[in-house]
Chains A and B, each alone.
Chain A
Amino acid sequence: MCTVCGCGAHQTVANEDADHKDPVHTPAVGFVIQTADAVTHTHAHAPLRQGVRRVQVEQDILGLNNQYADKNRAEFAQRQLFVLNMVSSPGSGKTSLLTETLKQLTSQHNLAVIEGDQQTTNDAERIRQTGVPAVQVNTGKGCHLDAHMIGHALQQLPALQDGMLFIENVGNLVCPAGFDLGERHKVVILSVTEGEDKPLKYPDMFHAADLMILNKTDLLPYVDFDVQRCIEYARRIHPEIEVLQLSARTGEGMEQWIDWLLKNQKGVTGSENTNSVRVASHV
């Protein structure tokens, strides 16, 4: 049985009606039972039948996920981890961006990756080839990672302290937007082969993300992708969203991304290092 929540089994692979609006319903802490005899309702409900009662619940449906997310956040803080939740559609280049990022940071930083996919351990294997530990979470039929899965995956990384943890979410521009994992930032990756109107088509994700990375910029000469329009669309959804343009394949623009990481991890992780000092000097 796991020590995170007491559940029996999990899927981490270690190193491998509109008329119901009356003022009688007031939000309650916990719940209140109203029996058919003592009902105070005088409104649009059909009359209660004998033997039937009402139970007020007033629970946020994502409340449990959010509790696990808070627990993760506390553990991230205690371990001094800067944690990013990387989200995108499938094929945007998340894993390639990560492997290139890890190669640049691994000599000076403690790093780890949690990989989410419906099936296979392919991505975790690609990450491990860089020498960075990776935990694969297979969601099976699930379309997103949730905070509970991350809590389990974190147990597989007991040595990770004072560094960066990248969570590569399931390739999906819809569902992962709604699930807080306890991360510091969501980072949305959009490749220029996807079409510049993605922020308007999938607004929830671009609203939830603090940074948008436009990847595969080396392909811009071959595609009809209007970078400025894409950024304008993203800022309609989320006026403060930061934007970086890069190509993980050619390395163009990678320096700004590394600088962004080093700048934003400050104050989260404990260690200062030559790189972050260098970055701080020109921010």
Chain B
Amino acid sequence: MPAADTGLADLDRLPKTETNVISLLDDRGSLADGFAELLTPDQIGQAMRLMLLSRAIDDRVTKLQRLGRAGTYSPVHGQEATVVGSALALDPARDWMVPASREQPAMIRHGLPLDRLLAGYMGKINFSRIPDNVRLLPRNQSIASQLPHAVGLAWALKLRHVAGVVLVYFGDGASSEGDFHEAMNLAGVQSVPLIFVLINNQFAISTPVAKQAAVTNLAVRAAGYGFPGFTVDGNDLFAVYAATQWAVMRALAGGGPTLIEARTYRVGFHNTSDNPKDYRDEVEVTAAVARDPIERLRKYATGVGAWSTDIEIRTMKGIASELESAYLRAVAVPRPGPGDIFEHTAASLSTRVRRQRRQVKGEEDNG
């Protein structure tokens, strides 16, 4: 077991289901013995808030899209424990996050301001720029393309002897792309400090994971690249956090990459252009809703006194007001103009492109 390389032996201690899925917090909100100290009450409260905020963002931006005030949106609904649990295991002042396109609360936890996140969906392209001090790459709509970028970024940290790890998100569909193989392979060869978080939400738009791969446990693929891979219950904040923390410590100690398959379910639609009723049974969705990651954590947190109805009411009020003011700030930002097509395309523009800019902006063309 590679854990021995880093002195981290606790991975084997993590309880697993009969199908070899790491699971600490069950559907009823009952935590496995010995893990009560894994997250502090503050961290649990922070996780609850981020997950509730995530769902509020889903609702708000979906409504904005229906009103024509926002573009295409992909809700996180159902996957909150996966993205929040993994993000909480990172140090935003040290580690880098490379998102796919459905990890909103993770990006916020890593430092992306809410107004800038919303602005991105509202077409306010300049305002949505990631602030300079936030170690986050932009969302990437070309599935799996971000994986080699994450390898290179982690490689740079290693070459420059900078402490830190990179965590990259991608989905079950992405694991079928060539970039997945190429990135995993290079990451293994160069032993870079990288955590691959495969969010297996059972669908790539409509295609079920069974048609994506002939293996049921996608984590086994890590073996072919020479580093550990394991599956966690992606609706279990504790399991995701514990696994990610293990991988982070291993990477920081020079142990190299880890693949974590977080098994969850995309309760919402693929995006606002999608209607999942066309391709999946409601029975299946109902079963997934019954395994809701927020409800599970709420039960546990309430049981240990880290959460209550009063806290939730206060939190929801705070979220509503935070969301509203972030939205108003994003609304107030002027829409980009035609000249913005040419901004940030290159450090310097060619004569030809400068002329196109004048034409697009309706300025007089003096050659």
Do A and B pair up? The answer is no
Interface residues of B (CB under 8 A from A): none
Interface residues of A (CB under 8 A from B): none
